[in-house]
Amino acid sequence: MPADDGDTIASGSAPLFWAQVVGNAGLLVAVVPIARELGPSGRGTVAFITVTAIIAATLARLGVTEATTVFCARRPAQRAALLSNLLLSVSVAAFVAAVVVCGTLALVPRLRPPGIGDAELAVLAGAMFASGLSDAGYMFVLGCSRFRLHALVTAAAAWLYAGTMWLLAVTSEITVVHATLIWVITQAAKAGVLLVASARAEGLARPEPRLLRESIAFGVRAWIGTLSTAFNERLDQILVALLASEAVLGIYATAVNAFDVLLYLAAAAATAMVPLVARADPALRMGRVLAAFRAVTLVTVLGIALAAALGPPLIRAVFGAGFHGSTAPFLWLLPGALGFAALAIFSAALVASSAPARSSAGPLVSLVLGTALDFVLVPPLGASGAAIAASAGLLAGGAVSLVLYRRLSAFGLRKLVVPEPGDSELLRALAQPLRGRSRLK
């Protein structure tokens, strides 16, 4: 069995953080030729196919991938069976999702967006399989703490997609089918690399029904939180379009795109935390979690201060004077970064501590409160109302996750803010992205 490539939250978070930065930059580069060639309506059709595929795959998997991450960390001897169960369950789930979603859209054409024809439906079905298998590979290598493998594959896949789109734009023309099919192929390639590497490292065993049932029983409780997070990231933008207008949505989406940069570190730390805390000695878990929270919070506070000073002029300079209205909602979103840090860190800690149902509470509270406030605040305040709702939801969800984790592992509130030796480990790791001896075996 290969050695894991990270044994601390810091060593795992750094490559995941930089992979997210590099990967998201690649996706942004890929969007430019799509938007230029297809215009708003074509770009919307591409978004419909990719987002629908991701959401459908998330709905269908019943938390098996979340359980696999925890079980891989705690039960190395069962990784071969866990991988076989994962491949089987995700493939069946993707097939069911494709039949239900694509079959419904094929039988009831009036439910389809205007740009979705038979060819696009076929691509959508493939996208569900690619998205599901890509996520399966992602979660399995995280459970094995092979962070550098995932980081490199994620960044490479994003830039492969960007390079292919630009090459197509220069040499031919881009259609919706072209853009989405290339996305599917890229996701399938990412899944193939991750899953083949996992099979070579851990092997494949006969599927174990008992273990699969246990995975579903554990994972379905964490799955509620995963769904809440997935909807929380997209639902408010849909509501802005419905409650206000597409123009207001454009203003709000620009503010959200700029704000998301502040969330990368917390998301990376939370992702790295699950397998590392899950396999840690119970006496050491709380210390690792709180150290990660203090370091992430420090960086987030500094990021908020920098964003408040530089964000508004940069938004105007990068996006143009027409997006001056994005500065107010951007500033309203900034407090939510602290809520997201607590939500991400403590929800992940609850999953890793065998409390998956509690881990779902924070994301669910964030979704419900944010959505309710959207209906109240968006009609009179527009994009700023959506930003206030989002910040309030994130802060409330973070507070709930913090309280629930504190009930599970009692600690004084001073430990949330008073620095301790070792807190700087995460900062040092971020300064040395993807360096050191590779363990991609």
Give yes or no: residues 189 and 262 share one domain.
no
84 CB-near residues (< 8 Å, 6+ apart): 204, 205, 206, 207, 208
Residue 246: pLDDT band by 50, 70, 90 thresholds?
A: low
Mean pLDDT on 327-351: 90
Give yes or no: residues 167 and 301 share one domain.
no
In a domain, 102, yes or no: yes
In a domain, 226, yes or no: no
Last residue of a domain, one of 197, 220, 243: 220
Residue 146: its pLDDT value, please? 85
Q: What is the pLDDT of residues 277-320, one digit of tens each?
A: 666 666 677 877 888 888 888 888 988 999 899 888 887 776 66
Q: Higher pLDDT residue, 405 or 2?
A: 405
In a domain, 2, yes or no: no
Determine what percent of the chain is predicted with pLDDT higher than 90: 31
Domain that holds residue 412: 233-431
Q: Higher pLDDT residue, 262 or 333?
A: 333
> With helix as H, strand as E and coil as C, how does the chain read?
CCCCCCCCHHHHHHHHHHHHHHHHHHHHHHHHHHHHHHHHHHHHHHHHHHHHHHHHHHHHCCCHHHHHHHHHHHCHHHHHHHHHHHHHHHHHHHHHHHHHHHHHHHHCHHHCCCCCCHHHHHHHHHHHHHHHHHHHHHHHHHHCCCHHHHHHHHHHHHHHHHHHHHHHHHHCCCCHHHHHHHHHHHHHHHHHHHHHHHHHHHCCCCCCHHHHHHHHHHHHHHHHHHHHHHHHCCHHHHHHHHHCCHHHHHHHHHHHHHHHHHHHHHHHHHHHHHHHHHCCCHHHHHHHHHHHHHHHHHHHHHHHHHHHHHHHHHHHHHHCHHHHHHHHHHHHHCCHHHHHHHHHHHHHHHHHCCCHHHHHHHHHHHHHHHHHHHHHHHHHHCHHHHHHHHHHHHHHHHHHHHHHHHHHCCCCHHHHCCCCCCCCHHHHHHCCCCCCCCCCC
Residue 234: pLDDT band by 50, 70, 90 thresholds?
A: low
Last residue of a domain, one of 220, 242, 268: 220
Q: What is the pLDDT of residues 130-174, one digit of tens each?
A: 999 998 998 899 888 887 887 889 889 989 998 999 999 888 888
Last residue of a domain, one of 187, 220, 253: 220
Q: What is the mean pLDDT of the chain?
A: 81
In a domain, 109, yes or no: yes
In a domain, 227, yes or no: no
pTM comes to 0.66
Residue 433: pLDDT band by 50, 70, 90 thresholds?
A: very low
pLDDT above 80 for 114: no
Give yes or no: residues 269 and 181 share one domain.
no
In a domain, 246, yes or no: yes
Q: What is the pLDDT of residues 370-385, one digit of tens each?
A: 999 999 999 999 989 9
In a domain, 440, yes or no: no
Give yes or no: residues 215 and 243 share one domain.
no
Give yes or no: residues 117 and 246 share one domain.
no
Give yes or no: residues 316 and 210 share one domain.
no
Residue 212 CA: distances (Å) to CA of 84, 86, 207: 10, 8, 8
Residue 88: pLDDT band by 50, 70, 90 thresholds?
A: very high
Give yes or no: residues 197 and 331 share one domain.
no
Give yes or no: residues 281 and 188 share one domain.
no
pLDDT above 90 for 241: no
Mean pLDDT on 97-125: 86
Task: Please count the structural domains in the chain.
Answer: 2
In a domain, 269, yes or no: yes
Give yes or no: residues 192 and 303 share one domain.
no
Residue 391: pLDDT band by 50, 70, 90 thresholds?
A: very high
Give yes or no: residues 184 and 238 share one domain.
no
Give yes or no: residues 415 and 375 share one domain.
yes
pLDDT above 60 for 348: yes
12-21, 107-116, 210-219: segment of lowest average pLDDT: 12-21
Q: What is the pLDDT of residues 161-207, one digit of tens each?
A: 989 999 998 888 888 899 899 999 999 999 999 999 999 999 999 99
Give yes or no: residues 183 and 293 share one domain.
no
